[in-house]
């Protein structure tokens, strides 16, 4: 009987139609297509904007896009590591605010006599790592959901930033920090190259270290990862700590871009960060995505905002478009066949 199966199937197949044409695409092939979808969206957005306003294709506009993308890229890298595990980090704005304030107070500035230079920036990065470490330890050891833990740390960090400056703004005079925006290499500000260097480091961590592989494993199924001998608690704490470092880097770049430190600098960064990560194709459920996809997501968000400015679209409409974009991205990234319950 088993030998007759193929002949029956062949006989029932219409002439000219291959059996393989009726078979669904393999899951791996669908994933590869989904990974390329954001790139195609980016190219389509660029083509539409360029057709409407040719000024979009000028080198000066490319520089503006790159400069606008450097901070979301640094923040998005950190958020990607957390989301890959199936968690979420809402402390972005608090860490950015505190990092900007510390940068303005530790390097050469207009408020005090400090001039720590690179050592001051190292302190800022270590502060971001400390906040991320606290996020991870509280989340893991006290078993508090990540969104609640990081939401609390958002307000703690923002509160400290406000306490340090008391609502005033401090001018940053340090030539190294200001040079990240004012000095250029190959036509682009040094801050852009710093963000790309951060992306290269993140890519190496993601693809060539145990921590990167373990983050994917946790996103694919934490219980299975634990049974496989993966130190779940340590991986989570390390990922949150690493995310804090990238948020602090985003804060330093924010201070360089504005030329001053203010506790309100981080406002609005969380929405843009999560939007860029999700639009790039990293699944909120964890286990799927990459920092390179986050780069594409950042470019989509930045290019769209730049294009809407060139087309004279009001800011309020731009925000609405971003909201619709993140809803659409989440809807497209969810595999509904695998979901039985939506909470």
Helix (H, G, I), strand (E, B) or coil at 261: strand
* Residue 150: half-sphere exposure toward Cβ, Cα within 13 Å: 26
Token pair 């950015």 is found at: 96
Cα 159 to Cα 138: distance, rounded to the nearest angstrom: 19
Identify the weakest region by mean pLDDT among 11-20, 53-62, 126-135, 168-177: 11-20
pLDDT given at position 342: 41
How far, CA to CA in Å, does 13 sit from each of 7, 10, 26, 161?
10, 5, 21, 70
Cα 300 to Cα 322: distance, rounded to the nearest angstrom: 10
The separation between the first and the last C-alpha atoms of the chain, rounded to the nearest angstrom, is 48
Domain ranges of the chain: 80-267
Helix (H, G, I), strand (E, B) or coil at 186: coil
pLDDT given at position 15: 43
Token pair 């199936």 is found at: 86
Which of left, alpha, beta for 287 (phi over 0: left; psi -120 to 50: alpha)? Answer: left
**33 burial via Cβ count (<10 Å: 0-12, 13-18, 19+):** exposed
153 contacts 134 by C-beta, under 8 angstroms: yes
How far, CA to CA in Å, does 1 sit from each of 4, 7, 19, 146?
5, 11, 20, 56
Instruction: For 49-103, write each residue's pLDDT tens digit.
Output: 999 888 888 999 999 999 999 999 999 999 999 999 989 999 999 999 999 999 9
Tokens representing 191? 């801050």
Q: What is the pTM of this model?
A: 0.85
Supply the mean pLDDT for the chain.
84
Q: Is the alpha carbon torsion for 267, 82, 244, 213 positive or negative?
A: negative
pLDDT for residue 6 is more than 70? no
Mean pLDDT within 246-261: 93
Mean pLDDT within 98-110: 93
């Amino acid at each position: 009987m088993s030998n007759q199966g193929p002949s029956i199937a062949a006989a029932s197949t219409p002439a000219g139609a291959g059996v393989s044409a009726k078979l669904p695409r393999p899951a791996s092939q669908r994933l590869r297509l989904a990974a390329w979808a954001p790139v195609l969206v980016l190219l389509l957005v660029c083509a539409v904007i360029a057709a409407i306003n040719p000024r979009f294709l000028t080198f000066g506009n490319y520089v503006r896009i790159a400069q606008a993308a450097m901070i979301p890229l640094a923040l998005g890298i950190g958020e990607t590591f957390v989301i890959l595990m199936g968690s979420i980090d809402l402390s972005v704005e608090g860490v950015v605010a505190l990092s900007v304030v510390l940068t303005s107070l530790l390097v050469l500035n207009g408020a005090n006599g400090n001039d720590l230079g690179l050592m001051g920036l190292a302190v800022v990065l270590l502060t971001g790592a400390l906040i991320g470490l606290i996020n991870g330890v509280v989340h893991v050891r006290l078993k508090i959901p990540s969104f609640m833990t990081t939401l609390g740390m958002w307000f703690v960090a923002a509160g400290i930033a406000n306490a340090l400056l008391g609502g005033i703004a401090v001018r940053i005079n340090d030539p190294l920090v200001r040079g990240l925006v004012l000095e250029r290499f190959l036509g682009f500000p040094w801050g852009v190259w710093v963000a790309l260097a951060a992306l290269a480091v993140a890519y190496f961590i993601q693809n060539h270290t145990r921590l990167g592989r373990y983050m994917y494993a946790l996103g694919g199924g934490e219980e299975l990862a634990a049974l496989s001998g993966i130190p779940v608690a340590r991986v989570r704490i390390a990922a949150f700590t690493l995310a804090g470092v990238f948020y602090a880097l985003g804060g330093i770049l924010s201070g360089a871009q504005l030329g001053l430190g203010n506790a309100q600098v981080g406002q609005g960064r969380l929405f843009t960060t999560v939007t860029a990560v999700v639009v790039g194709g990293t699944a909120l459920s964890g286990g799927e995505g990459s920092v390179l996809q986050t780069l594409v997501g950042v470019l989509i968000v930045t290019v769209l905002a730049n294009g809407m400015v060139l087309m004279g679209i009001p800011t309020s409409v731009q925000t609405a478009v971003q909201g619709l974009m993140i809803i659409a991205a989440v809807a497209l990234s969810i595999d509904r066949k695998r979901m039985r319950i939506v909470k």
